[in-house]
Each structure stands twice: as structure tokens, then as C-alpha cells.
Amino acid sequence: MKVLVIGGGGREHAIVWKLSQSPHVDKIYCCPGNAGIADMAECIDVGSNDFDALLDFVKYEWIDLTIVGPEEPLSRGIVDVFEKEGLRILGPNRTAAQLESSKVSAKDFMRRYGIPTAEHRVFTSYIHAEDYVRLKGAPIVIKADGLAAGKGVIVAGTADEAINALKLIMKEGVFGDAGNRVIVEECIYGEEASFMAFTDGKVIAPMVSSQDHKRVFDGDKGPNTGGMGSYSPAPVITKELESVIMERVMRPTLKGLNSEGIKYKGILYAGLMIRDGHPYVLEFNCRLGDPETQPVLSRLKTDIVDIAFAIADERLSDINLEWKPEASVCVVIASKGYPGKYEKGKVIKGLDDAKKHKDVVIFHAGTSFNNGDIVTAGGRVLGVTAIGADIKDAKEKVYRAIEEIHFDGMHYRKDIADRAIKRP
């Protein structure tokens, strides 16, 4: 069978890597892919949002299954376009994807179904938003309604910082239309975790838990990024808490969607804050997390093609998800400047030596080829991932492999997974 993966980051490399292990798969394509993905798939230079070209390609090549990595094509309705043509594609349709693409819709939805989340108010007028921030005081969270490439949330430590964020979003329009509506939200302190599940719209099957590291520097300092590292499992999600999350968050979400006539198929990802043992939803995503996918798929034993087909054909209840008991850790290596304006085109050395390390896989996030060299081409460049007996073992393997890798200006966090290791 032929499979197409849409996207070109570390998450998509992990999906392609997992697909490459499936006996069902003869050929993998990736649009647009990257230099690492090119080892296992044929990369085609078509962008993730060019639906006409993607559709032409899938029909011409007789692709059996398309898997969508990033949120943008989902929020623009790629699934609607493909399904209309009778093509098999993994992901929610445009309406269902609003759970991620409009934070206001998601908050309204959670309120309707009693899903635990932070208190909030929605504003379309700057002056009312400013008054509300002054009334509530800091810390407080400001969120642009629409997709903002992971930059639309500002956790403000002071009222001035919050008001500054409001000005940038509502007056200067730094996120364009995504900032037409703004959420001002209560700040919740606790431990974050990513909880992802597969769903065919009927049943919802949890994946193993994981945890991201959003801030760019060690000790959770500096601005938010797309994610600087991750590990699975997340010890904060105990078996008991997993049951609570399924009962209070995941199943009510699916039930609520169904009751509104919305069929949600694909991946449902709840970004959670765990406060005093209780989960609160900070956001929903309608796709796999990046970089959470790298350690989570490293632990998946079940054939991903079987899962994808079961979702598409709405018989996920037939699948028994199996996971490796080992732990996995992923550390992201980023370009100089990231998450701000970053450098590109730096030659990456040592990849072959790093790849030889046992139990280590190097997922490429932002790389391309230049005159036979592999060079940097994105903010997040590589996600070095290892599986080990426990998180500490996996972490040590990752950092040993990273010592082999070099490019100008590279930076990465040295404390990924420490929180899990030091946990009492």
C-alpha cells in the first residue's frame, strides 16, 4: 500500500518512521518532508496547504491512506476535501478541528459540557479587555482566539505585561484575524501534561501520557516555543488520574461533539494542567503533539496502519493498543535565535555517528540538503530520541548521542525530563 504523510517536521518524521515498520506499507511519500524523512520516504515538494496539488498527487499515485501532521491543513478543511473525493485520510474535518482552531469555540464547548478548564472571559473590544485585566490583576493569561503558530498565548506575570499583550494582539494585529477575539483567562499553577487519544468518533482510545517542555531555556525560563523536549510516560498522570481524565475530559468531549452532530475522527489531544491532582484543560489540539509524538510513537507496538484504517472505517473498538513498557525521551536541538528569528543553512555534522548509538533515533524537524550536506532549515532542527529502561536511562542515551552532533549556533535544553527523574 502507498501512504502519504503531510507535513515536514519532527512529528511527521516520527510518523513516517513508524509507518516504515509496517508490513502493510510498500511506499511512503511525504509532502514536503525534510532531509531525515528522505531516508524513508519520497519527499515531494508540495506544501501542506496546497490542497489542489495534494489531491492531484494522491489521485495520480493511487495513495491508499493520507495522514495529516499539522493543524493548519486540518483547520482549513483538508479532510472535507479528501473525503468528498472518497479518499481515506486521518484527521478531523474542518468543523471538528475548530476545537483547536478557535480557542473561543473550545472554551464555549467546555463550558457547555462541564469539562474542567480555567475561568475566562472573551473580548472583542480592547478597552473592555484592559478594564477586565486591571480588575483581575496578575498573574493572568491572554490568548488570541485563532491559530498563531503556538505564539498566541501569553502568561503574564504583571498587569502591564498582559495589557501590552492585549495591545499587540488587538490594536497592532500581530496575529491578524486570529486576534479579533481575545480570551482573558485565570492563571492555573500546576504540572502540565499532554494527553492524546485516538478516536473514530465512537470510541476513544488513550495513548500513553507524555510531557512537553515549552520554554526555551533550562529551568523553564525564557519565552514559549513549539516544544524543546518531551518524555513519555509522564509520571504525573497516574493510572487513577488517567481514569479521571477519560471520564471528565475525553469521553465528555466526544459525547458533546456527537450530540452536536459533529463527527470527530483522528487524534484528540488535551493539553492539561494538573492542579492538586485534578486535570484542567488548557487547550485542545486536533492532531499529534510535536515533540510529544516522538517519544509516544517510539513506545507504540501496534501497527499504525491498522490504527489509521480502523479510525477511518470507524471500527477502532477492534484494535487493542499495545505499548512498550520502557520510557522514551526526546531532546530538541534548535537554531540560534529560536524561538525568535533564527539562522538557517548551517551544516549539521555528526549525524551518522549519533545514529549509531543504540536505542537512539534522530528525528529531523527542520533540515534540508545543500550540495550533499544536511543543513538547518528551521527553528527546531532535530529531535534526538531514545528509548530506555526508565526515563533516566533514556535521557542519558539521548544526551550521549547529542554530543556527536554539531552545527553553528545550536542550542538545546540540558534538563529535559529532570522533573520526572527527581520526582519523589
89: partner contacted, choices ligand AMP, ligand GLY, none (Cβ within 5-8 A by kind): none
Contacts of 380 (CB under 8 A, 6+ apart): 9, 10, 225, 226, 227, 291, 332, 333, 334, 335, 338, 365, 366
Please report how close the Cβ of residue 106 comes to ligand AMP at its closest, in angstroms: 9
Whether the upstream peptide bond of residue 279 has omega within 30° of 0, thus cis, is no
Nearest distance, CB of residue 283 and ligand AMP, angstroms: 3
Partner whose binding site includes residue 285, from ligand AMP, ligand GLY, none (CB under 5 to 8 Å by kind): ligand GLY
* Closest approach of ligand AMP to the CB of residue 52, in Å: 30
Cα separation, 169 vs 177, in Å, equals: 9
Q: Residue 227 touches which of ligand GLY, ligand AMP, none (CB < 5 to 8 A by kind)?
A: ligand GLY
**Of ligand GLY, ligand AMP, none, which one sits near residue 192, judging by CB under 5 to 8 A according to partner kind?**
ligand AMP
Instruction: Report the partner that residue 129 touches, choosing among ligand GLY, ligand AMP, none (CB closer than 5 to 8 A by kind).
Output: none
CA–CA separation, 181 and 103 (whole Å): 9
The distance of closest approach from Cβ of residue 91 to ligand GLY in the complex, given in angstroms and rounded to an integer, is 14
- Shortest distance in whole angstroms from residue 229 CB to ligand AMP: 14
CA–CA distances in Å: residue 190 to residues 87, 110, 143, 279, 282: 42, 20, 19, 9, 11
Q: How many CB atoms lie within 10 A of CB 255?
A: 12
Q: How far is CA 276 from the centre of its chain?
A: 25
Instruction: Give the nearest distance from C-beta 118 to ligand AMP in angstroms.
Output: 4
Report the Cα–Cα distance between both ends of the chain, in Å, rounded. 47
Query: Which cell is 217 given?
Result: 531555556
72 or 185: CB nearest ligand AMP: 185
CB of 419 closer than 8 Å to CB of 274: no
Q: Are 91 and 74 contacting, i.e. CB atoms less than 8 angstroms apart?
A: yes
Judged by beta carbon, residue 36 or residue 226, the one nearer ligand GLY is 226
Closer CB to ligand GLY, 117 or 285, in the complex: 285
Residue closer to ligand GLY (CB basis): 200 or 292: 292
Residues 156 and 142: their CA atoms lie apart, in Å, by 7
155 binds, among ligand GLY, ligand AMP, none (CB under 5 to 8 A by kind): ligand AMP
Q: Using CB under 6 A as the criterion, which residues of the chain lie in contact with ligand GLY when the complex forms?
A: 212, 226-227, 285, 289-290, 292
- Please choose which of ligand AMP, ligand GLY, none residue 289 contacts, taking the beta carbon within 5 to 8 angstroms, the exact cut-off set by kind: ligand GLY
Residue whose cell numbers read 513498557: 325
Whole-angstrom distance, CA of residue 166 vs CA of residue 131:
11
What CA–CA distance (Å, rounded) separates 167 from 24? 52
Decide the pairing of beta strands 2-7 and 27-32. Answer: parallel
Q: Toward ligand GLY, which CB reaches closer, 227 or 256?
A: 227
Residue 167 φ then ψ, to 5°? -60, -45
Indicate the residue among 156 and 329 with the shorter CB distance to ligand AMP: 156
Q: How far is the CB of 395 from ligand AMP (least distance, A)?
A: 21
Q: How many CB atoms sit inside 10 A of residue 227's CB?
A: 25
CB-nearest residue to ligand AMP: 283
Residues of this chain that bind ligand AMP (CB under 6 A): 118, 141, 153, 155, 185-188, 192, 214, 224, 271, 282-283
C-alpha cell of 298? Answer: 517510539
393 binds, among ligand GLY, ligand AMP, none (CB under 5 to 8 A by kind): none
- Nearest to ligand AMP of 22, 224 (CB atom): 224
